[in-house]
Amino acid sequence: MTGGDEDEFESVLLEMRAIRKRKRADYSRSYTDPDGTGYANLLKQGWEGVVVRLQDKMDRLNGFSLQSIIEGEAHASNEPVEDAFLDAAVYAILGLILYRRKVSWRKDR
């Protein structure tokens, strides 16, 4: 990557952090997330559940891609293309964390 590409990459990482903080605030209530990690809703189905959510994001992105090819642009009133990419990236990281926790737990037994 060139210097400019690296700056863009770092900028996207900052966007991901900001989104995660905003969404975590919604999920980190003491009555829904007793350990305060922001993962309680994901722990119900583990990393495998995150894969389903990732597939939903990929299906949405695929729809945008087809729309772009057919109509010349992709647009949505509810969740923009960029949000779907950012959400997918955040879910991928959360899935990796949950996967590592599960693998680590199995290795400790």
Q: Where are the alpha helices (DSSP H) in the chain?
A: 3-27, 40-43, 46-71, 81-108
Number of domains in the chain: 1
pLDDT tens column, 32-57: 666 666 677 788 889 999 999 999 99
Q: What is the pLDDT of residues 5-30, one digit of tens each?
A: 889 999 999 999 998 888 777 766 66
Query: Residue written as tokens 């642009």?
Result: 73
- Please name the residue that has the structure tokens 């990419």: 85
Average pLDDT over residues 80-95: 92
- What is the pLDDT averaged over residues 54-64? 93
Nearest to 38 by CA among 80, 81, 105, 93: 93
CB count in 10 Å sphere of residue 57:
20
The pTM assigned to this predicted structure is 0.78
Q: Residue 90 belongs to what domain range?
A: 3-108
CA–CA separation, 64 vs 19, rounded Å? 21
Distance of CA 106 to the CA centre of its chain: 25
Q: What is the C-alpha separation between 63 and 43, in angstroms, rounded?
A: 28
